[in-house]
Every structure is written in C-alpha cells, then in structure tokens.
C-alpha cells in the first residue's frame, strides 16, 4: 500500500514537470514567432522615420517623395503623363525611322502637347451696389454692366475707393478705377466723366449729362461683378446685394 502511494507521488511530480516544460516550450515558440514576424516586417520596410521626417531606409538625407499618376516634372515643366508617354512613343518611332534612313531625328522634351496648363476661374457675375464694403470690392476683378438685349460692357478693375458724397443714397459712393477711367457707383446708379462717355455710347448705352463734365447711365441695366469672393450678408443678416434690375429714366418737365 505504501509502495502505491509513493508511486502515485512520483507520477504526479513527473506530470508537473512535463506540464511546466510544455508551458515553457509554448512561450518560447510564441516569442520566436513574434520575433521572426517583426524581423521579416522590418526587413521588408523601405522607409524609416527619424524625428518627424520619413526617410528612405538606410539613409538620413534622402527624404521620401511622392508622385502623381496624372502628371510628372520633365526638365522643370509639369507634363501630363499620358500625353508625354504618347509623345515619347512617337519620338521613339521617329528615331527608329531616322536610324533606318541614316538621318538624325530631333526631339523636344517635354512635348508641347503634354505641358500642363492652368486656367483662371471667372465664376458667375453677381449683382452688387455701393453698400458692399471696400474689403469685398477688393476681390472685384471685372465690372460687368448688362443693358437691354445685347448691350453689355465689361471693364477690368484695378482699384476701388469709398468716398463721402453729399446727396448720395447712402452718404458715400464707391469709386471704381477701371482700365478706361473712374466710374462712380451710387447704390446702382452709374456716374462717370465725359472723357469716358464714348465707351458707354459706343457699347449701346444711353447716357445723360448731369453737369458740365459728368454724365450718368440711363435705361434698364444690371450692375454685376466677377468676384474672387464676396460676402452677400451683413453681420446682422441683412442682404448686401440687390436682387432686381434697376431702371433709371431721365424726366424733363416743361415749364
């Protein structure tokens, strides 16, 4: 009976030893797998981060660069990849033909047909009047005056100023400096000097004299502008821009 108890204890010790050995083996296996995975991932990486900058792996000066699938830089010029590839294929074919005929083929790089071009966004013309603040008018690129039918005039704006004027609608008027001269905007009433009156007359607008050297625009017309940006409401939520067409009529009363 005592022999049986001793034998059971020995078997239990062997079992504990085997369990501990298996646990150690499992831990070693997991550690080896984790280490091997990290080593493989690190070996496959082609970049490294030093500080806040990503460099090519193994270098401390070559910064990682990104490219575009749409365009590339050739001789300092932005070119369309697809158009440039087509131009290169054409040049290669021309070079092969020239080599076959013992002539010299001249090629240009980059191809003029593949050069990227930019365009200026004009946007849509917006009605405005002299209530618009000067900071918003600084974004005015073109003054566009649309009359009846096909009567219209567009002038490039080079500067603006707000000037006090007695008797004006809001107490001040806006001077719009254009390439042909200065135009005064009182609400939506357009005033200008006689020096530039021919510009409006030749465009088909009706004008009338208000003083010896000042004239105003008559008839139905819209005052519009091409803006980079414009604020359409004031701080109190009020509308800053007119929404209807204005008509100015010269009335003459018989005495």
Do 148 and 182 belong together in one domain?
yes
Checking if the pLDDT of 55 tops 70, the result is: yes
Q: Rounded CA gap, 56 and 70, in Å?
A: 24
Statement to judge: residues 170 and 206 lie in one domain:
yes
Structural domain count of the chain: 3
Q: Do 206 and 234 share a structural domain?
A: yes
What pLDDT is attached to residue 100?
Answer: 59
Q: In angstroms, rounded to a whole number, what is the distance separating the alpha carbons of residues 217 and 207? A: 5
Rounded mean pLDDT, 15-42: 89
Say how far apart CA 153 and CA 125 lie, in whole Å: 13
Residue 251 confidence (pLDDT): 42
**Domain residue limits at 7:** 2-56
Q: Are residues 107 and 130 in the same domain?
A: no
Residues 167 and 211 in one domain: yes
Q: Does 244 map to a domain?
A: yes
Instruction: Give Cβ neighbours of residue 216 (< 8 Å, ≥ 6 apart).
Output: 189, 190, 191, 192, 207, 208, 210, 248
Q: How far apart are CA 45 and CA 56, in angstroms?
A: 9
Higher pLDDT pick, 68 / 128: 128
The verdict on 180 and 244 lying in the same domain is: yes
120: in domain: no
| Rounded distance between C-alpha atoms, residue 203 and residue 144, angstroms | 12
Considering the domain architecture, whether residues 40 and 82 belong to the same structural domain is answered as: no
pLDDT at 144 over 90: yes
Same domain, 27 and 76: no
Tell whether 105 and 207 lie within a shared domain: no
Q: Is residue 63 domain-resident? A: no
Are residue 50 and residue 84 in the same domain, yes or no? no
For 74-119, the pLDDT digits (tens) are 776 777 777 777 777 776 665 666 565 555 444 455 566 666 666 6
- Angstrom CA distances, 67 to 72, 84, 112, stand at 7, 15, 21
Does some domain include residue 65? Answer: no
Q: What is the pTM assigned to this prediction?
A: 0.52
């Amino acid at each position: 009976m005592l022999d049986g108890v001793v034998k059971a204890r020995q078997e239990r010790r062997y079992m504990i030893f085997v369990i501990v050995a298996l646990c150690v083996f499992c831990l070693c296996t997991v550690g080896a797998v984790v280490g091997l995975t990290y080593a493989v991932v690190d070996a496959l990486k082609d970049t490294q981060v030093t500080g806040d900058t990503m460099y090519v792996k193994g270098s401390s000066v070559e910064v990682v660069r990104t490219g575009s699938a749409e365009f590339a830089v050739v001789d300092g010029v932005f070119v369309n990849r697809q158009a440039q590839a087509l131009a290169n294929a054409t040049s290669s074919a021309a070079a092969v033909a020239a080599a076959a005929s013992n002539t010299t083929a001249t090629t240009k790089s980059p191809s003029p047909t593949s050069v990227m071009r930019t365009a200026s966004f004009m946007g849509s013309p917006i009605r405005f009047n002299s209530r618009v603040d000067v900071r918003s008018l600084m974004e005015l690129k073109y003054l566009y005056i649309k009359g009846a039918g096909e009567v219209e005039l567009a002038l490039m704006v080079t500067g603006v100023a707000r000037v006090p004027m007695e008797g004006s609608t809001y107490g001040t008027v806006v001077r719009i400096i254009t390439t042909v001269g200065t135009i005064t905007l009182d609400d939506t009433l357009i005033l200008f000097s006689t020096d530039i009156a021919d510009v409006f007359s030749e465009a088909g607008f009706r004008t009338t004299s208000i003083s010896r050297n000042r004239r105003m625009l008559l008839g139905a017309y819209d005052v519009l502008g091409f803006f980079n940006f414009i604020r359409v409401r004031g701080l109190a939520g009020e509308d800053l821009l007119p929404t209807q067409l204005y008509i100015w009529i010269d009335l003459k009363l018989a005495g």
